[in-house]
Structure 1
Amino acid sequence: MTKLPRDQRRELLIDQALEIVRTEGADALTLATLAARAGVSRPVAYEHFTTRPGLLLAAFQRLEDRYVEQLRSALSSPPSNLLAVAEVMSRAYFNCHADLGAEGPAISAALKGSDEMAAQQRAMVGEYVAIMLKALRPHSRLTDEQLSLRCIGMLGAAEAMANETQVGKTTVDDAIAALTTMIASAA
């Protein structure tokens, strides 16, 4: 790897880390394998991520940022009726999940039990809920607390349905339809 500014090198290392997870699984991702694959020294990899969990968290954060970006983009001009808003939200979630592949669940599984991962997932859920709440607020008579709790439940359901799509137990279209109905009826 040629000499790059620190932030660009970090992004390229995360790209390479995600490729390793995609092709070989999360267990294959270590700082040493990343350094070897990226053509940098081990100290460079350690300088950027310090530990394997730090590397996994950085990769997971990249994926989460993409999820949030796609949801924000999809809702930048929200439709005027609840069912259409629910469908936009559902499509954004499952299309992003399909685009990003199995890396997110693999990295999440590799970090189970990590306090840092739990904190990162709580922050991500909080961000998602805030976006959902803003989009659903004009269509709901629930209090913000009630609607927020329902959004948390819908995200849990969406994650479970996404897992079902990944193992081929349902289609993305069926998952989108189911989540759209859940969101519309819960708001």
Structure 2
Amino acid sequence: MSKKLPRAERRLQLLKIASSIVRNEGTDALTLGLLAERAGVSKPIAYDHFETRSGLMMALSKDAMDRQVSALAKALEDAPREPTRIARILATAYLECAITIGPEWHAIAAALRGDATMEATQRRTREEHATFYADAIQPVSELDASIVRRRCIALIGTMEALSDEVVAGRIGMEPAVDDLAALIVTWIMSAR
């Protein structure tokens, strides 16, 4: 058994190990029992942190999204308030985050489909993400806030699909950033 860690540190350790399991063995292999075994802790510890496999998958998804939002917020801190610059920062940060997290991000998202609780969590996460993007874009857009937000929801779907292609190596990072930034400027930041 591993040494006793503070709760927050143990949770981070478990999430890191769970992410590694998904990356190397797929989402079907991930169970709370396997996670406990790989972490060197008892099953009750894993269950105490996540309660169910669904809870673990939702925690992995939330962790990935939180890391992405944090990277975006940092990238936007000192950015000049001009549409092309904001668009490029959003595109680059999203795609870099997808590459950093790796293919398990998409595998986790796919595994979360089909369960009502998990879908509600994903919907909430997408809405929070759309709000974050809209807040970054609105100051440099001439569009009404409701239109910017609605288009940001659509943009997230586009970003997910494009990041999947980049992670799989079917599209290069630079062309993907260029295309995504152009889409943001043309579709979201310009007037109707």
How would you bin the TM-score normalised by the shorter chain? over 0.9
CA distance in 2, matches of 1:174, 1:114: 35
Which residue number corresponds to residue 66 of structure 1?
67
The amino acid of 1:99's aligned partner reads T
CA distance in 2, matches of 1:73, 1:128: 15
| Conserved? CA contact 2:54–2:112, under 8 Å | yes
| Conserved? CA contact 2:103–2:164, under 8 Å | no
CA distance in 1, matches of 2:117, 2:69: 19
Deviation string for 1:88-144 (max 9, x for gaps)? Answer: 110010011111101111111112112222222222222222222222222222111
SS of the aligned residue for 1:33 comes to helix
Residue 133 of structure 2 corresponds to residue 139 of structure 1: no
| Conserved? CA contact 2:98–2:167, under 8 Å | no
In structure 2, the gaps of 5 or more residues are none
The runs of 4+ residues in structure 1 deviating greater than 4 Å are: none
Which residue number corresponds to residue 155 of structure 2?
154
The TM-score, its normalising length taken from structure 2, stands at 0.92
In structure 1, the gaps of 5 or more residues are none
CA distance in 2, matches of 1:169, 1:4: 41
Deviation string for 1:49-98 (max 9, x for gaps)? Answer: 11111111111111111011111111112323211110011001001111
The amino acid of 2:166's aligned partner reads T
SS of the aligned residue for 2:90 comes to helix
What is the CA RMSD across the aligned residues, in angstroms?
A: 1.3
| Conserved? CA contact 2:71–2:97, under 8 Å | yes
Q: Percent identity between the aligned chains?
A: 40
Which residue number corresponds to residue 56 of structure 1?
57
CA distance in 2, matches of 1:117, 1:173: 33
Deviates more, 1:167-176 or 1:86-95: 167-176
Which residue number corresponds to residue 128 of structure 2?
127
| Conserved? CA contact 2:103–2:168, under 8 Å | no
CA distance in 1, matches of 2:50, 2:81: 44
| Conserved? CA contact 1:57–1:117, under 8 Å | yes
The amino acid of 1:125's aligned partner reads R
The amino acid of 2:165's aligned partner reads E
| Number of residues of Structure 1 aligned to a counterpart in Structure 2 | 187
Deviation string for 1:151-185 (max 9, x for gaps)? Answer: 11111111111111223221111111111000001
The TM-score, its normalising length taken from structure 1, stands at 0.94
Which residue number corresponds to residue 39 of structure 2?
38
CA distance in 2, matches of 1:144, 1:114: 32
